Amino acid sequence: MSTPRPHDLLWGLPLSALPDDTPQWALQVVASGQPVVVRRAACADGWVAVGVRGQSRDQRLGTQMRLGDIQRLRSPEALRGCAPSPWPALQALASAAPVLDTCGLAWGPTGGVGYQLATGINVLHLASDLDLVLRAPHPLTRAKALELLDILDCAPCRIDVQLETPAGAVALREWAGCAQRVLLKSPLGARLVSDPWAALECAA
């Protein structure tokens, strides 16, 4: 099994791994066998930071999971296909796929779209956004980011793309803008950087 990365969905978190003060809704989610999502936080060797997702936006619980407890892993890249749907977020996924497929980078849906595609549980609504991750191991020019954003902004709903660099993630919308520094999210926290791809080198 591959090493879990942010946004991957994991199955197998045992109830016994949850803290004593875990809310009832989170206990029910884990007991029903639903997956947890890998989040961006530092952990000891052999552990991965994960989040339990409830039915509403305020139902989010951060915890940790032993790598040895992982029974199954689904990455965003494995969730790219979807059938025709009345939900704007899924329509946006279908319209964005040809564009992203031609950029030469690995990508996939995250957030509610990824969760629904992976589990079959209906969490989307008419106002749902489409969240995507775009793996960018090498620098993407700001001009190219703006070109991509202009195309994606024609979709049936708002699309938020996280560029996953070796040092962490930065929003495509920010990188396509004019600000000299952008917010980079890493396991060690968030910080402003001028070049997300050089940030790993600077932090070493």
User: Which residues are tagged catalytic?
Assistant: 129, 131
Q: Model confidence over 168-201: pLDDT tens digits?
A: 999 999 999 999 999 999 988 999 999 999 866 5
- DSSP letters along 168-188, please? EEEEHHHHTSS-SSEEEEETT
> H/E element holding 130?
strand 130-135
Q: Average pLDDT over the chain, rounded to whole?
A: 93
Strand partners, 38: 50
Cα separation, 37 vs 17, whole angstroms: 15
Q: For residues 106-134, give the mean pLDDT.
A: 95
Cα separation, 131 vs 117, whole angstroms: 13
Record the tokens describing residue 11, joined without a space. Answer: 């199955």
* HSE-CB of 1 using CA atoms within 13 angstroms: 16
Q: What is the pTM of this model?
A: 0.91
* HSE-CB of 101 using CA atoms within 13 angstroms: 8
pLDDT score of 22: 95
Angle at 115 between CA 52 and CA 96, to 5 degrees: 140
Domain boundaries, the chain: 9-74, 76-203
- Eight-state DSSP code of residue 194: S
Query: Taking phi first (over 0 means left), then psi (-120 to 50 degrees means alpha), and beta for anything else, what does residue 199 get?
Result: alpha
Size of the chain in residues: 204
Contacts for 52 with CB less than 8 Å, ≥ 6 apart:
13, 26, 29, 30, 36, 60, 61, 63
Which of the residue ranges 40-54, 71-85, 117-131 would you say has the lowest mean pLDDT? 71-85
Angle at 192 between CA 2 and CA 181, to 5 degrees: 115
Q: Model confidence over 74-91: pLDDT tens digits?
A: 999 999 877 778 899 999
